[in-house]
Amino acid sequence: MKILHVIANLAPRYGGPAKACFELARAVAQRGHEVTIYTTNQDGDGELDTPLNQIIQREGVQLRFFPIQSPRFWGTSLPMARALAQMIPTVDIVHIHSLYLFHNLIAPWLCRWYKKPYVMLPHGTLDPFLYQRHRQRKRLMEWTFENRNMRQATAIHFITQEEQLLAQPYTHNAHSVIVPLGLTLNEYDKPRPSQWLAHYYPETKDKKIILFFGRIHFKKGLDLLIPAFIALAKQQDDIHLVIAGPDDERYADHLKHLLSVDNMLDRATFTGMIQGDEKLSLLRESYLFALPSYSENFGIAVLEAMACRCPVLISDKVNLHHDIQQAKAGVIVPCEQNAVQQALADLLANPFQARYYGEKGRQLVENRYQWQQIGELMEQTYQQLIEKHHVR
């Protein structure tokens, strides 16, 4: 098969969707298919240092970057639109990532024009919590093109059953499939620098690290985690909060203010984005990982923590929570400060239980969330959707 993915950006700062797109493409390419990603060079307010308008080979996937143009927030790129018009007639199926962006105006229309099947992956944008954001702007795009895109899609690709259920009121009864995301586990078993965190951040030495790892954003529940941490830190001298991830919207300034009001700024460390071996060290050296998110389509960072045997504490709005709860692989709480605080206190007081969750989390990833299995499932799904399209 010849498969094309279309996404607004691939820079690491954009978190889950960018990572998911490339790794999903790689998993299918490793099964012998020709997989290409078309995207822009957008990287926040800047641009990626990458060649434009040419094919770049990366781990079996063909990447082609196009220049980002104004308005940048929409992922606009007219050169990408022109290239899509040439590429789409030559492929077997198109996988379109996210909604309400420039490429959603162009790619589905071209697929319909050339009678090519296309799959839409919302990446959580149809979760009611996010669906209501910028509602007027989104309503205009829905009326103009997005409703038709969904109604005529060969399928909507959901990552979890929970996402599918939450999105149901907004999908116009479109056909849908569920294929999860995953990890390549051997990448998480590499030798790591020892005591990396204490070496670069001496204030963390000999502390139990409560880790938030991900994009610093209002939806992540950090306004619940920080007050819960402050309350516990007033009673315990041996805990330290580490917030690791990019801050696209300067939300970190608000979080630092919350800490400074209680004179707790020195009990927290903001590392910025961490990748590679340093990321593995951070996950392995942390006492627990916390994500009390108000909305989380999947939570790749949760899988990464579990792969490193780091105990996880997540909200019941993280769509992985059913699997984690069933496997007894972590702690699930509602989006309430008191619940987060009590769960943190319980885990900090019981290292044996925390280690148990870490081991069960690793087992869950091994059993259900490896790319080798998911690549095979995605391959089968593409084949079924192509056949479905041809018999319409």
Residues 6 or more apart in contact with residue 291 via CB below 8 angstroms? 212, 214, 220, 221, 299, 301, 302, 312, 313, 314, 315, 318
Q: Which CATH architecture has domain 2-182+370-390?
A: 3-Layer(aba) Sandwich (3.40)
Tens of pLDDT along 258-309?
999 999 999 999 999 888 888 999 999 999 999 999 988 888 899 999 999 9
Q: Is the pLDDT reported for residue 192 higher than 70?
A: no
Q: Which of 246, 74, 82, 46 is nearest to 64 (CA)?
A: 82
Q: What is the DSSP string of 194-218?
A: TTHHHHH-GGGTT-EEEEEES---G
Tens of pLDDT along 240-255?
999 999 886 789 999 9
The first and second tokens of residue 184, run together, are 């390549």
Pair 324, 160: CB distance under 8 Å:
no
Pair 134, 174: CB distance under 8 Å:
no
Q: Is the pLDDT reported for residue 135 higher than 70?
A: yes
Equal CATH topology for 2-182+370-390 and 185-368: yes
Rg of the chain over all Cα atoms, to the nearest angstrom: 21
Alpha-carbon span 190 to 250, nearest angstrom: 33
Tens of pLDDT along 203-246?
999 999 999 999 898 899 999 999 999 999 999 999 999 999 98
Pair 51, 78: CB distance under 8 Å:
no
CATH superfamily of 185-368: Glycogen Phosphorylase B; (3.40.50.2000)
pTM: 0.84
Tens of pLDDT along 150-162?
999 999 999 998 8
Q: Lowest-confidence range among 31-45, 126-140, 290-304, 314-328?
A: 126-140
Q: State the number of CA atoms in the 13 A half-sphere of 59 facing the CB.
A: 9
Residue 1's pLDDT is 96
Residues 6 or more apart in contact with residue 390 via CB below 8 angstroms? none
Alpha-carbon span 99 to 106, nearest angstrom: 12
Q: What is the DSSP string of 59-126?
A: TTEEEEEE---SSGGGT--HHHHHHHHHHGGG-SEEEEESSSSHHHHHHHHHHHHTT--EEEE-TTTT
Residues 6 or more apart in contact with residue 230 via CB below 8 angstroms? 258, 259, 262, 264
Pair 244, 272: CB distance under 8 Å:
yes
Q: Could you tell me the CA-to-CA distances from 348 to 99, 263, 288, 343 in Å, in that order? A: 40, 22, 9, 9
Pair 289, 310: CB distance under 8 Å:
yes
Q: What mean pLDDT comes out for the span 182-190?
A: 86
What residue spans define the domains of the chain? 2-182+370-390, 185-368
Percentage of the chain beyond pLDDT 70 is 99
